[in-house]
Amino acid sequence: MTRSTVFAPFETIEGDRKRGLVLVADHARRNLPEEYGDLGLPASEFDRHIAYDIGVEMVLRELAALLDAPAVFATFSRLLIDPNRGEDDPTLIRQLYDGTIVPANYPMSDEERERRLDLFYRPYHDAVGAMVASVAGASGAAPFVFSVHSFTPTMQGHIRPWHVGLLWDLDDRAARPLIDGLAADGSLTVGDNEPYDGALRGDTMYRHAVVNGYAHALIEIRQDLIATQQSALAWARRLAPIVDAVNRRSDIHEVRRFGSRTGPL
């Protein structure tokens, strides 16, 4: 866990914006601003999936380099505030997560909640929105937004059998060929909207892709498969040609408003 007196809530990676591809990662780091200390938790909790998506930053950086694609990722722990939730989502700032109580998150005053939104959550989403708009302008077409996450092999006592999953809402233009590409050699168990449902109103894909009619997908890679630098880089190399092939499809760069299973846009 790293702390700094000057805390930037996001980081950008430059790439060729004319390619029409934007990479994002909401849970890439477990960092906390210095003034929040450790949120009242032992250091060991920040090694767990509750604090960040293990392996994702390594995958994202290599994928961005291989694809020459720009990327934006959040630099703060999801335990501070979760950027992949709507502002009105009850799990935006968790008080309890997979058996762990977060002391500094309860009780939570309205002022503190708004402070975390203003200092961390909103600047990150402003950066993602600006990048998506910039890529749309540079490419002259609708961008493809690809979000990288990872998931724990077991959750609340349940074993998750998938190696990787693709999450989407009603628009499967990107998710379907990604699922097919990953499943092609028969070595992977690929989840379709597993281990989570891709229809989450107010999340990052909803805010920056669904409401704009942009093709998108969120990939979930099982954390034990990308926990080391070697395995994370290998997964990025595995993903790169599949993501590139999807990005080269003409239908991916059309605006198509499919709506959402969460209700009217």
Domain around 47: 10-253
Q: Tell me, yes or no, whether 264 lies in a domain.
A: no
Q: Which residues contact 12 (CB under 8 A, 6 or more apart)?
A: 70, 71, 72, 127, 131
Domain count, the chain: 1
**Tens digit of pLDDT for each residue in 208-254?**
999 999 999 999 999 999 999 999 999 999 999 999 999 999 999 99
User: The tokens of 257 are what?
Assistant: 């408003």
Q: Tell me, yes or no, whether 4 lies in a domain.
A: no
What is the pTM for the complete model shown? 0.96
Q: Tell me, yes or no, whether 234 lies in a domain.
A: yes
CATH classification at residue 161: 3.40.630.40
Read off φ and ψ for residue 19, nearest 5 degrees.
Answer: -75, -15
Predicted confidence at residue 167, as pLDDT, reads 98
Predicted confidence at residue 3, as pLDDT, reads 45
**Tens digit of pLDDT for each residue in 74-125?**
999 999 999 999 999 999 999 999 999 999 999 999 999 999 999 999 999 9
Q: Tell me, yes or no, whether 241 lies in a domain.
A: yes
Q: Looking at this protein, which amino acid is placed at residue 177?
A: P
Q: Do residues 24 and 84 touch, judged by C-beta distance below 8 A?
A: no
Q: Do residues 155 and 97 touch, judged by C-beta distance below 8 A?
A: no
pLDDT category of residue 6 using cuts at 50, 70 and 90: confident
Q: Tell me, yes or no, whether 5 lies in a domain.
A: no
Burial class (CB in 10 A: 0-12, 13-18, 19+), 14: exposed
**Tens digit of pLDDT for each residue in 45-81?**
999 999 999 999 999 999 999 999 999 999 999 999 9
CB atoms within 10 A of CB 162: 18
Q: Tell me, yes or no, whether 159 lies in a domain.
A: yes
Q: Tell me, yes or no, whether 263 lies in a domain.
A: no
DSSP letter, residue 145: E
Asked which of 3-7, 145-149, 203-207, 234-238 is least confident by mean pLDDT, the reply is 3-7
Q: Tell me, yes or no, whether 2 lies in a domain.
A: no
Mean pLDDT calculated for residue range 138-157: 96
**Tens digit of pLDDT for each residue in 156-201?**
888 999 999 999 999 999 999 999 999 999 999 999 999 999 999 9
